[in-house]
Amino acid sequence: MAIDAGPWPSLPLAEWRATYETLHMWMQIVGKTRLALAPAENHWWHVVLYVTTRGLTTTPIPYGDRTFSVDFDFLDHRVVVATSDGTGATIALQPRSVAEFYREYLRVLDSLGITVKLRPVPAEVANPIPFPDDHTHASYEPKQAQRFFHVLRQADRLLKRFKGRFVGKSSPVHFFWGAMDLSLTRFSGRRASDQHADTMMREAMSHDEFSVGFWPGSGAVLEPAFYAYARPEPPGLAAAPVRPAEAYYSRELADFILPWEAVRSASSPDAAVLDFCQSTYDASADLARWDRAALDRQAGEWP
């Protein structure tokens, strides 16, 4: 199938919200498969998806002495399940309810000899509907899903460039299906001093961190945007100067925000995103007194 959008497509949340919300639930079903079967890692890194040349993938998931993967293909609009013994199956991405997708997905896994027990309730959403009962979300517009993918691959490419400027512990660039965000996290090496009451967040933010990423928008920011934050947030960060000029601090989210529209309309979208990543990191790391001499690659050595 031909690519529908250019390298910097528009992605207004209001225009594709129905597809977005349905796709979010489908991704949660696939993501919960990794959650159920993959060996646990710190910060929940075992549950994430990764950007590919065609969409998103689980990467290989262990199942006994076999492995299998589940890929979202947003060019040919299908879910591809492949196993290490050469078998596989596909599910068409088309308008259908979450309940129908859930039944079909489990049927396909069962046909490949894979049985998974997952909690069939979405996470990190308001008013969650159990997957078997969700007949509300049933939209899929292929062009909108494809544009989302092309935005993700640009964000993935730039976050990976930014990742190479750091020599301390950092995450891969990966996609969290709970909040539908692509994320990169750097760590100071110190354990976090404030512990969250919520078990999920306590594990996710167990160490001092700086995170930057992209998501399609939700809550207080109803547009696609890059975001950046430090946790715990050092005093004075909200007032720190960051670049480019279109970036701002959201007090409701305690995040810096750079709208996608500001990126795609910039004379150099690459420079705008990398400026945002670097300036928000500089402010966060300096105010939090990170050992930057030990953690940062010198600017002249940036890849």
pLDDT in tens, 91-121: 999 999 999 999 999 999 999 999 999 999 9
Give the pLDDT confidence of 200-211 residue by residue, as tens digits.
555 556 679 999
Q: Which is it for strands 50-51 and 55-57: parallel, antiparallel or unpaired?
A: antiparallel
- Look at residue 303 in the predicted model and tell me its pLDDT: 84
pLDDT band at 49; cut points 50, 70, 90:
very high
- Look at residue 196 in the predicted model and tell me its pLDDT: 54
Give the pLDDT confidence of 117-139 residue by residue, as tens digits.
999 999 999 999 999 999 999 99
Asked whether 79 and 73 are in contact (CB, 8 A), the reply is yes
Asked whether 257 and 226 are in contact (CB, 8 A), the reply is yes
CA 119 → CA 44, 53, 95, 129, 267, distances in Å?
A: 16, 30, 24, 12, 46
Tell which wins on pLDDT, 154 or 193. 154
Stretch 11-40: mean pLDDT, rounded? 97
Report the interhelical angle of 142-163 vs 269-287 (nearest 10°). Answer: 50
pTM above 0.85, yes or no: yes
Average pLDDT over the chain, rounded to whole? 94
- Look at residue 195 in the predicted model and tell me its pLDDT: 59
- Look at residue 199 in the predicted model and tell me its pLDDT: 61
